[in-house]
Structure 1
Amino acid sequence: MAAVLMETGTALVQGPKVAGVETVLTPEALSLLTELHRRFESTRQALLGARKTAQKCYDKGVLPNFREDTRYIREGDWKVAEIPPALQDRRIEITGPVDRKMIINALNSGAKVFMADFEDSSSPTWANMIEGQINLRDAVAGSIDFTADNGKQYALDPESKTVLLVRPRGWHLDEKHIEVDGSPISGGLFDLALFAFHNAQALQQRQRGPYFYLPKLQTMEEAALWDEVMAFLEVRLGLPIGCMKATVLIEALPAVFQMDEILFALKDRIVGLNCGRWDYIFSYIKTFRRHKDRVLPERSQVGMTAPFLKAYSELLIKTCHRRGCHAMGGMAAQIPINNDAAANEAAMQRVRADKLREASAGHDGTWVAHPGLIPLAKEIFDQHMPEANQIASKPRSEVEVSRDELIAAPSGSISRAGFLNNIDVCVRYLAAWLDGLGCVPIHYLMEDAATAEISRTQLWQWLHVGGLKLDDGSAIDWALFDMALSGVAERLPESGLPGQNRVPEAVRMLGELTRAHELADFITLPAYQRLA
């Protein structure tokens, strides 16, 4: 049973004891979280309810589309506020969880930006969330260091120019360890507000923010709520109005139809949109879960050259550049393969082609998951983007994208290996996540919650829409699933697997979630209840 760590007024904090928690959750910080919860929680819940209402419509056959009531925004002649100097050039961004070693290596990597992630690449254990705040506070202060078990020491390079952005959890996630008036607070408010409380003044003095990446938004109303939160925090913390800047990840299918509107809702503080490609594919599957005519082939066949993804990417570039902000490219999930030169070269060629596509299309920067990919990605963007960004030079005004192009399912197939890979990736990732790791290398790809979600939702859809076959003619049915799931242990490495002790639990969870009549919105919601 979780211990009561502290109680202030009607705020109750309970969970495992974590060293330094009292320096993060000071009485003043708890008071701020309490105030935020009381001010914004009812709106958050209403917006989450609106998501469920929209999904019920999609399940009945309604297709997402551009909003008629906001046509004036899309057709209006307006721009967002000026981008601050520290964020003019974002050609290479590295992302990763908020653990101490990762933060040091990322800030020393030479990337223009490090996105410290409390969301998809972090498992939100209480220890991870509190220690992440401590780690970022030390990084902002310039005092962060780390000694590994083998004695190797890591320290922040005082000459580092990498700009820090923080990604809080999405609106759908709670922070169950803090209750206000008897209900858990928002995980996103916890992450963003605590980071701002401890670091905003120092960052503002250096003209470095605070800057944020906002995930999983579906509508302009959800963006407007973040705008209200940040405006409230600026006043509450004595910051210049508009100094908090945000980049929004367009990683939910409904959001692609509201990109202008999302920019408009945040126009005084937004600096760009990002192609969150893996979450976007996951959201496509989830949105069309009941649509047999929109079933995607196996994940390896759904790349950014697929027509619906190409349309999404190019519309994002056009929209951002028209409004005066960055259009950021997506993640290169590959990691270097040190023990196989041929396989490594093939992987790097895939990265090279992807980054060349992004730079040529007009993206203003890209994401990598591993420092080893930075030189390759930088070389391509330096060659094709000699200026700080491409906002003025590549407006992409010729792009015309229809609703049908944005939702057209690509052709393809499902192989037995692809079916098994979805099960294995999901089990391996979920086991590691339950064990406290949110970012896991699997088959030389850095998997996070988004890629595991593609695997999970594809399995659910393939089995529930019925009548699908593998490319060898075998039926995709529950007998195939049960046989594949029961054989997971035989296909996994015998040792050295992150979270190996949680594999049986992950197998049971995947079985239950896949057989459920309703598709769970996020795998992290039921899994979170199992975390300490």
Structure 2
Amino acid sequence: MAIPGVNVLGPRNGQFNEILTDDALRFLAALHRTFDKTRQSLLVARIGVQQRLDGGQFGDLDFPPETAHIRADPSWICAPPGPGLEDRRVEITGPTDRKMVVNALNSGAKTFMADFEDSNAPSWNNLVNGQINLRDAIRRKIDFEQGGKSYKLSENPAALIVRPRGWHLDEPRLTVDNRAMSGALFDFGLYFYHNAKALIAAGSGPYFYLPKMEHYLEARLWNDVFLFSQSYIHIPHNTIRATVLVETLPAAFHMEEILFELRNHSAGLNCGRWDYIFSFIKKRRADRRAVLPDRKDVTMEVGFMDSYVRLLIQTCHKRKVAAMGGMSAMIPIKGDEAANEAAMNKVRADKLREVTAGHDGTWIAHPLINKIAMEIFDKYMHGPNQYHVRREEVKVTAADLLDTKVPGQITEEGVASNVSAALAYCAAWVSGNGCIPLNNLMEDAATAEIARIQLWQWAHYGATLQESGDAITASYIAKVVDKAVPSITKLVKVQDDHVSIAAAYLKEQVKQQWASDFLTTDLMPYLEKVDGAKWVRSAL
């Protein structure tokens, strides 16, 4: 049956029809018609903020004066944890392919963050198959065999949390009233509509991670979506729980306000460390003082990152919700015991820093890292959380969050490393793979974005190389790109033409007056070939 105003441009066959049902599409259309105008206005507001920052007006990078009363009011707290979210000491993350879902749920981690965002290239097949896989996991019908190996869900799997795409991304294969739908509402809506009641019946609930927000009004929009959606399917308000990733520089100044807007649905905040570094550079792209050294030198111990962590923990525990630590991107190194031990020691040090700072849990990207992270948190966090660690001594100012004093240099190796990471990831992404192991790290869009934005920043300001003192230029980076291209297909399984797309994209990016907002937005049209369907273009 055709749904008035709704047009599905991606294929609908087999199990896809079980997800893209008429009733589900009606729900998506209702979400779009109710909330997309507000979404678009908030995206326009983001553009205004960036324009003011580019013009040297930095007033947006401060704690909002109009909400001072919310920050000063000690009386409000957030909702208690949802069933299964009381203890989140280790969370594993990854995309929603069937094998990953089973392995992550069976990993021994407390929760699994199933990702439609940074570790997922949003091809139509990836998105809809991901919805199928999560539906089957919730109903314990996901068991399968592959390559002679059996994959079977354990008796006590991790609690499931889903990360939809951010507000800025469209879903061009589904239009409502001739406009592309929000990718965030598409991912959220299909998962919620099909699974919320089944999750509640199983003793859990519909839980989400919310990415890339820049303002507390964007959190208010999510809260309105939650209220509408719970009413739509007739479940009690405040059943949903959502953890917000603080991974943009503006959001660091809105932490309490974001919790306040979502307080009846909030499950806390997360230090989205890699995206935060990316946003720190991008938002201050017109500020020469914000030029940072090699990515490896921008650690969690540098001033602006340490301030952000301390403020997040203080804010969450003041409002009785989880303060989640960041991602350990390390993965086990096979065939080199010494190198593997050195890498795992870095993981131990990172997790020790988090738990002693007061975090209530941490992220990992590989099941074999679970034991290490769990041992650290079990040793130092004896209860289900550390809400009692109030960090009342913490005093973080706007200047602390904007501190650009980062020890380190910009090196030839740093340029080459960024080029390699950006090339490999972008080539993989346009082929439909959003999560790749590279140099013993699990890379996703966030780390590739740091690589891209740093290359642009260094070329834009003519930063000098430590070794030679020569200025970094777009032409210098182009030479490094050309040198790296032949090695990319040895690092990741991609076609030569996808490497060519990535190389051309990177060379063009470093020549721009301003770095663009997101590589995922820039490269999205290339997924059209993967999908084999014509799309509608963004309204913005």
The residue that corresponds to 1:97 in the other structure is 95
1:155-194 aligned at under 5 Å gives the runs 155-157=152-154, 159-194=155-190
**CA–CA distance in 2 between the matches of 1:171 and 1:328?**
22
Q: What is the letter of the counterpart of residue 528 of structure 1? A: M
Q: What is the letter of the counterpart of residue 276 of structure 1? A: G
User: In terms of mean alpha carbon deviation, does 194-203 or 58-67 score higher?
Assistant: 58-67
| Residue 322 (structure 1) aligned with residue 325 (structure 2) | no
Contact 1:164 1:211 in 2 (8 A): yes
Q: What is the letter of the counterpart of residue 512 of structure 1? A: E
Contact 2:322 2:385 in 1 (8 A): yes
Cα distance per residue 1:115-173 (max 9 Å; x no partner) = 0000000000000000000000000000102322x22221111x124100000000000
The residue that corresponds to 2:277 in the other structure is 281
Contact 1:175 1:184 in 2 (8 A): yes
**CA–CA distance in 2 between the matches of 1:494 and 1:262?**
43
- Counterpart pick for 1:442 among 433, 438, 463: 438
Cα distance per residue 1:383-437 (max 9 Å; x no partner) = 0001000002x11111111111111111321110110111110010011111111
| Residue 197 (structure 1) aligned with residue 185 (structure 2) | no
- Point out where structure 2 has 5 or more consecutive residues left out of the alignment: 532-540
Distance 1:364 1:500, change over 3 A: farther
Cα distance, 1:493 vs. partner? 5.2
User: In terms of mean alpha carbon deviation, does 476-485 or 416-425 score higher?
Assistant: 476-485
| Residue 153 (structure 1) aligned with residue 150 (structure 2) | yes
**CA–CA distance in 2 between the matches of 1:84 and 1:138?**
22
**CA–CA distance in 2 between the matches of 1:485 and 1:380?**
40
Contact 2:412 2:465 in 1 (8 A): no
The residue that corresponds to 2:459 in the other structure is 463
- Point out where structure 1 has 5 or more consecutive residues left out of the alignment: 1-5
Cα distance, 1:9 vs. partner? 1.0
The residue that corresponds to 1:406 in the other structure is 401
- Helix, strand or coil for the counterpart of 2:9? strand
Q: What is the letter of the counterpart of residue 76 of structure 1? A: D
**CA–CA distance in 1 between the matches of 2:14 and 2:180?**
22
Cα distance, 1:512 vs. partner? 1.8
| Residue 50 (structure 1) aligned with residue 56 (structure 2) | no
The residue that corresponds to 1:214 in the other structure is 210
Distance 1:496 1:330, change over 3 A: closer
Contact 1:133 1:194 in 2 (8 A): yes
**CA–CA distance in 2 between the matches of 1:431 and 1:109?**
29
Contact 1:274 1:330 in 2 (8 A): yes
Contact 2:281 2:453 in 1 (8 A): yes
The residue that corresponds to 1:135 in the other structure is 133
The residue that corresponds to 1:22 in the other structure is 17
| Residue 119 (structure 1) aligned with residue 117 (structure 2) | yes
User: In terms of mean alpha carbon deviation, does 516-525 or 260-269 score higher?
Assistant: 516-525
Q: What is the letter of the counterpart of residue 247 of structure 2? A: E
User: In terms of mean alpha carbon deviation, does 502-511 or 430-439 score higher?
Assistant: 502-511
Q: What is the letter of the counterpart of residue 314 of structure 1? A: R
Contact 1:13 1:178 in 2 (8 A): yes
| Residue 258 (structure 1) aligned with residue 254 (structure 2) | yes
Cα distance, 1:491 vs. partner? 3.8
- Helix, strand or coil for the counterpart of 2:161? strand
The residue that corresponds to 2:538 in the other structure is none
Cα distance per residue 1:265-288 (max 9 Å; x no partner) = 001010110000000000001011
Q: What is the letter of the counterpart of residue 112 of structure 1? A: K
1:512-523 aligned at under 5 Å gives the runs 512-523=508-519
| Residue 395 (structure 1) aligned with residue 390 (structure 2) | yes
| TM-score of the two chains, using structure 2 as the length reference | 0.95
Distance 1:380 1:76, change over 3 A: same
The residue that corresponds to 1:73 in the other structure is 70
Cα distance, 1:251 vs. partner? 0.3
- Helix, strand or coil for the counterpart of 1:184? strand
| Residue 41 (structure 1) aligned with residue 36 (structure 2) | yes
**Corresponding residue pairs, total:** 524
The residue that corresponds to 1:32 in the other structure is 27
- Helix, strand or coil for the counterpart of 1:529? helix
| Residue 10 (structure 1) aligned with residue 8 (structure 2) | no
Q: CA RMSD in A?
A: 1.3
Q: What is the letter of the counterpart of residue 62 of structure 2? A: N
The residue that corresponds to 1:377 in the other structure is 373
Cα distance, 1:84 vs. partner? 2.6
Distance 1:337 1:477, change over 3 A: same
| TM-score of the two chains, using structure 1 as the length reference | 0.96
**CA–CA distance in 1 between the matches of 2:489 and 2:432?**
19
**CA–CA distance in 1 between the matches of 2:264 and 2:490?**
53
Cα distance per residue 1:213-242 (max 9 Å; x no partner) = 000011110000000001100000111110
Distance 1:496 1:450, change over 3 A: closer
